[in-house]
Amino acid sequence: MKDPDIEKRTLKHEEEYPLIRHIEAVPINFQNMDMILIRDPASLTDKMLMVPPDVFFIISRFDGKHKTSEIQVEYNRKFGRLIFSDKIRSIMAELDAALLLENDRYRKYMEFLNDEFGKQDYREASLAGKGYSDNPEELREELSDFFIDLPEDEHPDDIPVGIAAPHIDFQRGNRTYGFAYRELKKSDANLFIIFGTSHHSADNLIALTKKTFKTPLGDIPTDKDFIDKLTSYCKTDYHQDEYLHRTEHSIEFQAVMLKYIFPDRDIRIVPVLVHSFDDFGIKGINPMDEPKVREFISAMKKTIKSGGYKPAFISGIDFAHVGLAFGDLIAPTLTQMKSLEEDELKSIGLVEKMDADGFFADVIKDQEKRRVCGLSPLYTMMKCMDADYGRLLEYRQCVDPMGFSNVTIAALGFYSG
């Protein structure tokens, strides 16, 4: 039973130091006014908020470190006018109603979702009809366009042991998905281990599920025997945070692409969500210094070797997130984006060398400004996968139409021998 005094102090701290959950913020023009559309990428709620830039400035300071009185001072300094505490409280209340704050109400709702998800046999296609068509014929037509007009494959005989693909929406990721999955189509694997970014926090950093993934193109079962064997090597319960799979899109998009390129093959998947490793950078440690990460990677390697499996690996990742939509004070300039590209290609060069630790060290030093959300799943996959080198297939910067933000994506193949 919780100590009421401790719980009260915790709630008081959350009120004074508000903490926003991971959100997507999209600049839009509404009735000739610049606004920011805020939505939940985990789709816990369909509610979206539209706020002016000055209110978004306040929300960007909801990082759990700024006291509400400090936010008032920063607002005054930035905009040259006062804002009353009641206004900040009303913004917090609106975010709270949309389940966008990390607080007690959110945690209790997550406990409820965890219980409900645990009772289900399937992981529903949460974005079907929203992020992509739920009509099979329309979806196939949409995905077929990803492979049109790609340049000739310069290495047609190189069979990948794994790929990295985006997890950005299909509308922006289109041909980059095409590069990645054209490469994977060469594989004769029927087991695909998919590492995705968890946009929710996970107590055990890594979350597994054995639920069948539904897609408009057909169901994809998980390999339950593989997962059971994997967890038998572990003391940590990696199913504890299973509910994170409920609406996480980073693996869902890969499941849809897999079913598209292998419509008739009897395939199974092992879905692995990996939470952010950013705290390791703050602590100055390597991810392999964390027992839960080290244990999982060791168990994965043992499982693959023990059963004669020959899986292919997939990482559903995006790279940098910069601009006003992600908390920066100004929109990225062309010069900044060129500099970012140079930094990104340097990091990707380390991935091509299969230097996972070098990749982590290179990204984490700039993570506060780059926000590479694919760092943890790509690192984990590289440590689990038996590959000798990688190859960049495409790198792209996806700029929003108003130029306020930018997400960088890439397609990579990984090979042995």
* pLDDT computed for residue 405 by the predictor: 77
d(CA 239, CA 198): 14
Q: Quote the pLDDT of residue 3.
A: 43
Q: Is residue 72 within 8 Å of residue 88, measured between CB atoms?
A: yes
Dihedral over Cα of 355, 360, 361, 365: its sign: positive
Q: Average pLDDT for consecutive 10-residue bins of the chain (417 residues)?
A: 46 84 79 85 78 92 92 93 93 92 88 84 92 96 96 95 96 96 97 93 91 97 97 96 90 98 97 94 93 97 90 96 78 87 96 97 90 94 97 92 82 95
Task: Give the domains, in start order, of the chain with CATH numbers.
Answer: 4-110 (3.90.930), 122-415 (3.40.830.10)
Q: What is the pLDDT of residue 46?
A: 73
State residue 349 phi and psi, 5-degree precision. Answer: -60, -35
Distance between CA atoms of 290 and 204, rounded to whole angstroms?
Answer: 11
For tokens 């397609």, name the residue: 411
Taking the CA atoms of 111, 116, 119 and 125 in sequence, report the sign of the dihedral they define: negative
* C-alpha–C-alpha distance, residues 145 and 96, integer Å: 40
Closest CA to 294 of 212, 235, 369: 235
pLDDT for position 9: 44
Write the single-letter amino acid at 10.
T
Phi then psi dihedrals of residue 161, to 5 deg:
-95, -10
SS3 string, the chain, reads CCCHHHHHHHHHHHHHCCEECCCEEEEEEECCEEEEEEECCCCCCCCCEEECHHHHHHHHCCECCCCHHHHHHHHHHHHCCCCCHHHHHHHHHHHHHCCCECCHHHHHHHHHHHHHHHCCCEECCCCECCCECCCHHHHHHHHHHHHCCCCCCCCCCCCCCEEEECCCCHHHHHHHHHHHHHHHCCCCCCEEEEEEECCCCCCCCEEECCCEECCCCCCECECHHHHHHHHHCCCCCCCCCHHHHCCCHHHHHHHHHHHHHCCCCCCEEEEEEECCCHHHHHHCCCHHHCHHHHHHHHHHHHHHHHCCCCCEEEEECCCCEEEHHHCCCCCCCHHHHHHHHHHHHHHHHHHHCCCHHHHHHHHHCCHHHHCCCCHHHHHHHHHHCCCCEEEEEEEEEEECCCCCEEEEEEEEEEECC
Q: How many CB atoms lie within 10 A of CB 163?
A: 27
Paired with 270 in beta bridges are 193
- Strand 162-165 relative to strand 312-316: parallel, antiparallel, unpaired? parallel
| Distance between CA atoms of residues 105 and 97, nearest Å | 9
Determine contact, residues 155/391, Cβ cutoff 8 Å: yes
Q: Are 408 and 395 in contact (CB under 8 A)?
A: yes
Say which residue the tokens 């300071």 belong to: 61
pLDDT of residue 403: 65
Pairing relationship of beta strands 312-316 and 191-197 according to DSSP bridges: parallel
By DSSP bridging, strand 268-274 and strand 191-197 are: parallel
Please give the span between the terminal C-alpha atoms of the chain, in angstroms, as a whole number. 56
Q: Hey, how many other C-beta atoms are within 10 angstroms of the C-beta on 415?
A: 17
**How far is Cα 263 from Cα 192, in angstroms, rounded to an integer?**
14
Strand partners for 414 = 162, 390
Q: Rounded to two decimals, what is the model's pTM?
A: 0.83
